[in-house]
């Protein structure tokens, strides 16, 4: 087990508001599901939040966004992202959040992973989905940042994020001791 004591923690996440697939329906969300979970993790770990945002935003319409994301996935495009993290090297543990798109992370998450040196870092993935779990995202992260330690990830059903506090706490307690 790893201790969170005296560790500098980053909670980096990609999340999308607007139309999203929830419980077999398309619903309009004011805040993306992954952002809700990221805020919960930040509150439990005292981490620093960083939202991974593509420079060119995805459509707010669900079906158009799916086509845009599929095009990036098919063409293996890793779009430019906004902002950067000051003193990234000072972080010990990076919680990495994303929705499951095409059975993996959205392409901007790969841009993020390729933008920093993760050597010696601990990556702790969490993924929102509507039944597809983590998909291939863990192995895809491990293949992208070979010098990092990737801990077991947490899949959370997007429609249940508001009720996920106990599940998140249990996951953290299983991974970290204090």
Per-position DSSP letters for 3-37, written without gaps between them: E-TT--EEEEE----EEEEETTEEEEESS-HHHHH
Q: What are the boundaries of each domain within the chain?
A: 2-177
Superfamily of domain 2-177: Flavodoxin domain (3.40.50.360)
pLDDT in tens, 79-136: 999 999 999 999 999 999 999 999 999 999 999 999 999 999 999 999 999 989 999 9
Q: Considering Cα of 18, then 25, then 73, then 141, what sign does the dihedral take?
A: positive
Tell me what pLDDT residue 96 has: 98
pTM of this prediction? 0.96
Write down the pLDDT at residue 23. 85
Q: What is the pLDDT of residues 33-49, one digit of tens each?
A: 999 999 999 999 999 99
């Amino acid at each position: 087990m790893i201790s969170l004591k005296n560790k500098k923690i980053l909670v980096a996440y990609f999340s999308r508001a607007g139309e999203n697939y929830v419980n077999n329906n398309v619903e309009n969300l004011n805040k993306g599901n992954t952002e809700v979970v990221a805020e919960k993790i930040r509150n439990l770990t005292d981490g620093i939040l960083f939202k991974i945002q593509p420079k060119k935003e995805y459509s707010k319409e669900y079906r158009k966004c799916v086509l845009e994301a599929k095009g990036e996935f098919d063409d293996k495009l890793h779009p430019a992202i906004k902002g950067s993290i000051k003193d990234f090297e000072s972080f010990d543990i990076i919680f990495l959040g994303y929705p499951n798109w095409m059975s993996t992370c959205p392409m901007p998450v790969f841009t993020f992973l390729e933008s920093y040196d993760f050597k010696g870092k601990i990556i702790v993935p969490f993924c929102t989905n509507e039944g597809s779990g983590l998909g291939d995202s863990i192995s895809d992260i491990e293949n992208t940042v070979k010098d990092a330690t990737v801990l077991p990830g947490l899949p959370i059903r997007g429609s249940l994020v508001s009720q996920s506090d106990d599940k998140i706490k249990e996951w953290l307690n299983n991974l970290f001791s204090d």
